[in-house]
Structure formats: structure tokens, C-alpha cells
Amino acid sequence: MQRLVSAALALSLAAGVCAAAGAPDAFVGATLLPISRPAIEHGILIVRDGKIVDAGPADRVAIPKDATIHDVAGKVIMPGLVDSHSHIGGPAGGDDSGPIQPECRVLDAVDVRDCGLQKAQAGGITTVNIMPGSGHLMSGQTLYLKLRDANTIEGLLLRDKDGRTLGGVKMANGTNSQKDPPFPGTRGKSAALVRARFVAAREYQRKIQLAKGDPSKLPDRDLALETMVEVLEGKRVVHFHTHRHDDILTVLRLQKEFGFRVVLHHVSEGWKVANEIAAAKVPCSIILLDSPGGKPEAVDIDWRTGSVLEKAGVLVAFHTDDPITDSRLLLRSAAFAVRAGMSRDGALRGLTIAPAQMLDLQDRIGTLEKGKDADFVVLSGDPLSAYTHVLQTWVEGAKVFDRDDPRDRLWAVGGYGASHPQSFTWCCADDEGKHGAEEER
Amino acid sequence: MSAITGRGPGAPRAAAAAAPAGAATTPAAGTAAAALLAAAVLVAIVLGATPVVRAQVAVRAATVHTMAGPPIQDGVVIVRDGRIAAVGTAAQTPIPEGFRVLRAAVVTPGLIDAHTVAGLSGQLNVPPDQDQLEPGDPIQPELRAIDGFNIHERLVEWLLGLGVTTIHTGYGPGAVVSGQTMVVKTYGRSVEDAVLLPMAMVAATLGAGATTSTPGKSPGTRSKAIALLRIELIKAREYVQKRALADESKRPGTDLRLEVLAQVLHKELPLLVTVHRHQDILSALRLAREFDLKLVLDGVAEAPLVLEEIKASGVAVIVHPTMYRAGSPRGGSETENLSFETAGKLRAAGVTIALQSGYEAYVPKTRVVLLEAAVAAANGLAWQDALAAITIDAARVIGVADRVGSLEVGKDGDLALFDGDPFEYTTHCVGVVVRGVVASDKTM
């Protein structure tokens, strides 16, 4: 649903589903899954100015007089899904020139008109960590995005209070990043190259510290090392693609040596080293697949990984790794984890607050709590049921997906034209023309 | 044994219940197959392995989906000597003494994957375990699936664990004629032990999926692919005529490739055409009309654009996996317009459909029809039709409905047991029976 904000607003007004800025929306009658506390039957969710104002049982939450009422009786509302690892929008990081390229930014590559973003909205995803690929030891800077309806990548960014764009760094070990020189050909070489760069980053960091702000003493700027210093200082989390048990332990070894903050991604064989992961207090963002295999590192991938890690005390999130799994089926991954023994509560956290924690966004998203961003999905039923559909997706109080809208429905189910990149001219001229006329009346 | 524990009244009589493995062979399989089976048993004994002992098994379930009538509540299925001996309500279907009794909430016929490459394609995805496509020559109908099938491939075992007992597998998409397919059980000592149809269909691909970008190689275009296929079919027609010449000296020598295409021309083997674009679907129908072929359409991502034509042709369709990757139109993806609703739309139009796991080039290495049917059932395909598309309708489309696909007396004792609605993501497959043998007792 790629539109100008004004066009989206116009459409919403015409459809009568969104109150003007400042006026609250009240979602009445749904089962609320706040994640931060047990489910609330017949709950009420109040949203104003893009934030959650209240969420609770009907007998406790007062509906403001000026609120637009949304009757969602019989539906289920949960926080917007957070996908901690995705490749929607055709992201790219480093090129073939070398295995370590932290200076490359996904920011400069993502196509916000790629249908993948609309399909993710259709799957209930409201926040996504878009990453470059795993073909490098360090392929570049990732981006944490809100799936708002926006026309530019800037319109999707998440920033901290200082205005800094939020994102991490993508790293990988194992076979994907092994190839012909200058890339490593072995696991040992992979680790050696990474260690050498972190050592260099440490020395660069030291030079900056010693300069004490004196420009004449500062080292020349080095975009790659600057990024790695951010990693060393904990300002950027490392999102580390790793499958095999021994590769996972290599990540933990590097993490211990250099002290960076890390999230383990995929961890196909995480179930073999769950206690070691737990002892390192490192979270895991996992993927669940229709079948094992597809490459030698993934033959022991198991639906039980979530359960085993949970029992070991590891923080677990689910990701799509879209296109490896489809963004419209992220809920299904959590359901498979429950099928294989993970707790229902843990699985629902793994779709929401757990990945939010991994992206340092736990204070803004991931639960239905007062003061948090109004990011939520309206579901037709139990989030873990095969028959449940995402009916609506809301980001910061604005509806970005509605299954009743034929165009949105096309992205939800597929069909002719569903994979075409969205043409701004085509889509928004149409909307503005139509709804502008309605407004004038 | 997890959820399917329990024994019938009286002591188990394994020895008395044991039947030779060959007992499950159909009379139609002939003496050659029987001899092969006997040889296989002998080899197994010589190697110190125990031949499969076919215990007598009964399954009692709160709901039995026979696919040959309405579901039976509190039903029982009796499997004797590998075949279904009785199906009915528990009240009216006594379990014979000594039968092992499995219990489940839901039992269905063993599931059928109407098109896969599992067993020729392995989970490692490295050249030694990828036998589903022979490069080099665009038309190779002489390639037999049975010569490349690994019954102990872990992908096959994975499918079995999720209730899939029969697969239509073989040469995959990616060449104008890539080779043959076969129908085989997912459980057995060897391919000979497990096979139902050693030659099921001839696998073809039309559209961009059949073309090559290698300079100097054909086909480089859609039209060239069709031309190559027409040339070969005409050659086969002439070959048949010449082989029938009265003067033996004028008959051509045996040509394995043309022999197989002759079987296609004689409708002894269906031509399975993997095709996604609407114009290529119509090309396949045109080709089938020209040569009067028995056609089975496969994939058909753009079927909703040509529903009327497909329906009018009377051709059965093996629908692409719902979770197939759409790909990018900028990358020339053939499947960009696929939909979760393709199966539902075809069925609503009155087309006979089956679901498939298809071919996956990367992670995950195969889809699973149980999971495919769930997505189809949530997207416009009626629940019973979704189950039929992975049981009885699939059996019909791949030509083995006399053996499998429904729970009827005389059919193979293939069953899938579940602890709830099979399509629910959180339901488990709690047991799988193949020809009366508990082939999987994992909870998956």
C-alpha cells in the first residue's frame, strides 16, 4: 500500500476508518494479546497520535467521547510482528571485492516500492530488520524499518532520540561466505580475517580516544572502521548468520574476545549447543522451515530448536529470512515451534517483544502497552491457527493493510500483478484523483 | 510410540501375524516384480537385516476420513496382511484378537504427494545427491526415475514422518523433456519393494523454464522448445510406423528415446507438462490436441487467467505449491503471479486437482503436501477438497487410485494418524502406517 501519507489519509477519511489527527481510535470487543500480560477477552484498545493510550478489559478502559469506534468483536489483536531478519526490498551490501565491507549500507539499496514490503504488511509485520546477504564475513549495515506507507526509505526509518538511523551490522560464518580469494576458503581463515579487522578497529578506536577531540591528532576517517567502532561500543548489534554447532561456538568465541553485542541468526544446530548459548547470554533469532536441507549446513535444522533454546533460558525470536520463508507466513513459524514443544507464550513473545529486544526497540514496540507505538494486527482468530488471516495491519496508528481492500488482498493472497514493483505514479495518482474528488464533495 | 500406544485384546502374535513382504504385491505386478521382491528379501536376510514383519494392525480414531464417503466418527480401520480388511464404526467393526491397536484423534489415508523430486533430489543439495535433471540434452525421455531414486534419502523420510506415504517423483522441471517419473511408497527396503508404478509419466517443461541462455544451445526461446518437442513426437510417430513395416530389413533399430515417446503417443504414458505462464498453458493444451496426448498440467501459476480453457480441456492439474516463491518479474520469474488461491479457483471451476511439493532449488529443499493443503484450505479450497487433493484425487491424477488414496477394503494399508485437525499447524502427525507396517512412530 505504497502511497503518499496524504493519499493514505484521504483514503482513510473516505472510508471512514481513521479519525483526524488528535482524535483517538477505539478498537472494541477483540481478544487482546498484549504479550506483556495474559490475554484479555472482550478488550478495548485505545490509540491516539500513533501511540497506544490504553489497552485492557472493557470494564476498565474508558472510551473517549471523540473516539472513532472500530467494532472488532470476535477478532484477535496482537502487537505488530517484528521480523528480525528479512531481505525484502532487494537489499544489497558489499560487492565481490572483499569479505569485510561494513561501510556498505542497506539504506542505499532498498527499493521501497518492492512488493515484498506490501506482502510483509499483509503478513502483519510492522517492524523489520532488513539485512544484506550472508555471502560476506561482514556484508554491511542493516536497517531497522517501520513498514509505514511511505514513498522514500527515509519515510520508513527508525531513529533514536539523537536522530541517528537505527540498524545493526550483518556478519556470517560457515559456507556462504567461503569462496575464491580474496574471500576465505576455510573456517579458520574466516575467523582470522574477522579477528584481524576487529583488532584494527580496536586500534583505530584507541587513536580516536587518545586524540581527545584534537582534530590534528585524529586518524583519517575510515568508514569501515568507524562502523566497527560502533560495534565495539555496543551502538550497533551484530546480526550473525550461523548454522552449524561449531560455527555458533566460533561466534561466541569472537564475541567473548571483542565484547560486541550479538544476535545469533538461523542457528540450525542451536539445539546442539543450547547450554553454551545460554551461558553466553546471547539471544537467537531462528528460522523454521518446511523441511531440512537445501545445503549441507541446514540438514539438521529442527522445529524443536525454539523449544530447546527456550528451556535452556535463551531469548528466542522468529524471522522470515524472506525470501527463504514468505513474510505472509511468519505466524506459521511460531506455530511450528509450538508444535515442537515451545510454550505458546514464548512463541508469541518470539514474534513481538523478543525480536524487539534484539533490535533495542523493546521500549517502543513489541507489546500492547500504554505509551508504545500503535503497531498492531487485527487477526480473524488464533494467531497460531492455519485458518487465521491477518485482517488489518496498523503502524503508528495508521492502517497500512486491509484485507477488505482489493489491492491489499492481492498482496495477501497473490495473483496477477502481485509481484510487480509498485508504481508510485500509477497507484497514487489513482488514489488522489478518486479520493480527492470525494473530499471536495 | 508416544500417542499411538496400545494393544488389542489378547497377546500379540507376531509370528502368526507375519506375512511375507511380497504379500502386498498386486497380481498385476507380475512375476518379475515378485521375483525381485523375493530377491530383495533374500539379500536382506543374507546381509543380516530382518525382513519387515507385517504385524496385523487396527487403527481406532475419533474421526476416520475414508475419502470414500463421509467421515466416520469413532471409527476403526483393520489392516490385515498389508491391505485394508475392514473400515467402519467401532461399534460395528470388531478388532480381531491379537491385532496391534493404534489410536489417534484423526486418521486419514496415507497422504499422496502428486509431484515431487524427493529421492532423486537429496537434502544436501550438492551434485552427488541431485539426480532430478540431466544437463546437456533438452529431450531425454529415456531416463528412468527408478534408476535414480534413493528410498533412504532423508527428504523422503521427512515426508513420511508428516504422513506422506506415496509420492509421484522422478525427473524434474527444467528441460523440454527431462525424463520419466514413477510412483513409489516412502517406506520400503528398496525401490523395487516400494514402487507402485515404475513408469508413471514423462516429464516435460514449457515456457522460459525449458529454455537455456547458453550461446549456441537450444531451446533459447519458447517457440523453439515447442518446435523441438513437435519434431521429436513426429519422429516417434514415424518410428512406430516404420517399426511395423512388414519387411523386417526396413525397420529401424530400437531407439529407447522414441520407444518412450511412442508410449506417450499411444496414451500409455501421460505427458506431465510443467508450465506457469498463461500462454504456455495454452501451448501445452494445443500440443496435446495436435498429437492427441494424455496431458497432465503441472504448476500453472497463471491458471486463473485461462480457467475456461483448462476446464474445457478436461485435463487434470497438479497445482504449484502455495508456498512456491513468486520471484521478481524483473528477474523474469515465471511464477510471479502465483497465488495461495490457485487450487481453490481451479477446483471451483470444476477442474480435478492435486497438490504437490514441487521442486525447490534451495532452502527448504522440499515442501510438504500436508502443509500445502493447509494453506490451500485457508485460501478458498474447501477442507474436504483440500484433503482429497492430497489423497484420493491425487491418486486418481497419478493413476494409482486402485491401490491408494482412500480407506477402502482391498486397498493398501496406508494410513496417517494425527492428534487433531491435520491441517492445523500445531497438530502432530503421530504415526504413519505403510502396507500395514508402522513406518513412523515419530511425533511430528
Q: Which of A290, A388, A418 sits opposite B366 (nearest CB)?
A: A290
pLDDT for A437 equals 33
Query: All 3 cell numbers of residue A221?
Result: 576517517
Query: All 3 cell numbers of residue B377?
Result: 484450505
Query: Stretch B6-27: mean pLDDT, rounded?
Result: 36
Confirm or reject contact between B379 and chain A (CB < 8 A): yes
CA angle B103, B85, B83 (to 5 degrees): 90
pLDDT band for B62, please (50, 70, 90 cuts). Answer: very high
How far off is chain A from B365, nearest CA to CA, in Å? 4
Contact A415 B341 (CB under 8 A): yes
How far off is chain A from B123, nearest CA to CA, in Å? 4
Cβ neighbours of B383 in A, within 8 Å: none
Query: Stretch B81-100: mean pLDDT, rounded?
Result: 97
Most B-contacting residue of A87, A291, A332, A410 (CB-CB within 10 A), to test interface: A291
Q: Is the peptide bond before A323 cis (omega within 30 degrees of 0)?
A: yes
B170-189 as b/e, with b when 16 or more CB fall inside 10 Å?
bbbbbbbbbbbbbbbbbbbb
Confirm or reject contact between B279 and chain A (CB < 8 A): no
Contact B330 A421 (CB under 8 A): yes
Strand, coil or helix: B354? strand
The residue ranges of chain A whose pLDDT is under 50 are 1-20, 423-441
B29-36, long-range: CB < 8 A, 24+ apart: B33/B192, B36/B192
Cβ neighbours of B325 in A, within 8 Å: 323, 326
3-state helix, strand, coil in chain B (%, to 5): 30, 25, 45
Percent of chain B residues topping a pLDDT of 90: 84
Cβ neighbours of A332 in B, within 8 Å: 425
The enclosing H or E element of B36 equals helix B30-46
What is d(CA A137, CA A193) in angstroms, rounded to the nearest whole number? 8
pLDDT for A22 equals 81
How far off is chain A from B432, nearest CA to CA, in Å? 18
pLDDT for A21 equals 61
Beta bridge partners of A138: A100, A171
What is d(CA A203, CA B147) in angstroms, rounded to the nearest whole number? 60
Cβ neighbours of B425 in A, within 8 Å: 332, 335-336, 338-339, 384-386
Query: All 3 cell numbers of residue B130?
Result: 541431485
Contact B337 A323 (CB under 8 A): no
How far off is chain B from A42, nearest CA to CA, in Å? 25
* pLDDT value at B8 more than 70: no
CB-based contact B201:B181 (threshold 8 Å): yes
Which residues are CB-contacts of B305 (< 8 A; sequence separation ≥ 6)? Answer: A416, B278, B337
Give pTM, 2 decimals.
0.90
Beta bridge partners of B59: B77, B102
Residue appearing with cell numbers 492430497: B390
Give the pLDDT confidence of B157-202 residue by residue, as tens digits: 999 999 999 999 999 999 999 999 999 999 999 999 999 999 999 9
Identity at A97, one-letter amino acid code: S
Q: Which of A290, A298, A417 sits opposite B367 (nearest CB)?
A: A290
Confirm or reject contact between B126 and chain A (CB < 8 A): yes
Taking CA atoms, B211 is separated from B173, B214, B277, B302, B334, in Å, by: 11, 9, 14, 19, 12
CB-based contact B209:B245 (threshold 8 Å): no
How far off is chain B from A139, nearest CA to CA, in Å? 21
Q: Which of A295, A414, A417 sits opposite B125 (nearest CB)?
A: A295
Cβ neighbours of B124 in A, within 8 Å: 293, 295-296, 299
* pLDDT value at B42 more than 50: no
Contact B425 A329 (CB under 8 A): no
What is d(CA A195, CA A182) in angstroms, rounded to the nearest whole number? 16
Cβ neighbours of A419 in B, within 8 Å: 326-329, 333, 336-337
Q: Which of A290, A295, A385 sits opposite B424 (nearest CB)?
A: A385
Confirm or reject contact between B108 and chain A (CB < 8 A): no
How far off is chain B from A209, nearest CA to CA, in Å? 45
CB-based contact A40:A32 (threshold 8 Å): yes
Confirm or reject contact between B327 and chain A (CB < 8 A): yes
What is d(CA A280, CA A299) in angstroms, rounded to the nearest whole number? 25
Count contacts between A and B (CB, < 8 Å).
122
Give the pLDDT confidence of B227-277 residue by residue, as tens digits: 999 999 999 999 999 999 999 999 999 999 999 999 999 999 999 999 999
* pLDDT value at B10 more than 80: no
pLDDT band for B52, please (50, 70, 90 cuts). Answer: low
Contact B330 A384 (CB under 8 A): no
Contact A290 B333 (CB under 8 A): no
Least confident of A51-65, B94-108, B140-154, B323-337: B323-337
Confirm or reject contact between B325 and chain A (CB < 8 A): yes
How far off is chain B from A333, nearest CA to CA, in Å? 9
Confirm or reject contact between B383 and chain A (CB < 8 A): no
Contact A289 B363 (CB under 8 A): yes
pLDDT for A420 equals 83
Confirm or reject contact between B426 and chain A (CB < 8 A): yes
Contact A296 B126 (CB under 8 A): yes
Confirm or reject contact between B50 and chain A (CB < 8 A): no
CB-based contact B295:B274 (threshold 8 Å): no
Cβ neighbourhood burial of B86 (10 Å; 0-12, 13-18, 19+): middle
Task: State the DSSP code for A204.
Answer: H
Q: Which of A90, A335, A419 sits opposite B329 (nearest CB)?
A: A419
Most A-contacting residue of B155, B158, B425 (CB-CB within 10 A), to test interface: B425
How far off is chain B from A290, nearest CA to CA, in Å? 6
What is d(CA B145, CA B322) in angstroms, rounded to the nearest whole number? 25
Contact A290 B371 (CB under 8 A): yes
Cβ neighbours of B444 in A, within 8 Å: 303
What is d(CA B286, CA B288) in angstroms, rounded to the nearest whole number? 5
pLDDT band for B329, please (50, 70, 90 cuts). Answer: confident
| Pairing mode of beta strands B57-64, B100-109 | parallel
Confirm or reject contact between B163 and chain A (CB < 8 A): no
pLDDT for A14 equals 39
Which residues are CB-contacts of A367 (< 8 A; sequence separation ≥ 6)? Answer: A34, A35, A36, A79, A352, A353
CB-based contact B7:B22 (threshold 8 Å): no
Quote the ipTM score: 0.91
* pLDDT value at B404 more than 70: yes
